[in-house]
Amino acid sequence: MKTTVDYSKSPSPQFDAVEDVKAYFGTKWPEVSELMAGVKSQADFAMWAGFAGVEGLPVKAWYELYHGQGAWKC
């Protein structure tokens, strides 16, 4: 996900961002998802996502997938 995706025209940017993360990890998604679901700290989550190459809105959407909408605090 080293590319920039414009989600501003999407009717559901959060959903599309998570779908892009899933597609990025492909067959590794279940394993990665299970590990990331256990990361409670927003800073740690962003760090681990960044190591994996995920940045921007997809990180926020991915975090909120596990912790609920609005859980990401800027």
Residue 14 lies in a domain: no
pLDDT digits (tens, 9 = 90+) for 4-57: 789 999 999 999 999 999 999 999 999 999 999 999 999 999 999 999 999 999
State residue 4's pLDDT score.
78
Counted domains in the chain: 1
Residue 56 lies in a domain: yes
Residue 72 lies in a domain: yes
55 phi and psi angles, rounded to 5 deg? -140, 165
Q: Does position 1 have pLDDT exceeding 70, yes or no?
A: no
Residue 30 lies in a domain: yes
Contact (CB, 8 A) for 14 and 66: no
Question: pTM of the prediction?
Answer: 0.91
> What residue numbers bound the domain in which 62 lies?
26-74
Helix spans in the chain (H): 13-25, 29-37, 42-52, 57-67
Q: Does position 3 have pLDDT exceeding 80, yes or no?
A: no
Residue 8 lies in a domain: no
pLDDT bin (cut points 50, 70, 90) of residue 63 is: very high
Residue 34 lies in a domain: yes
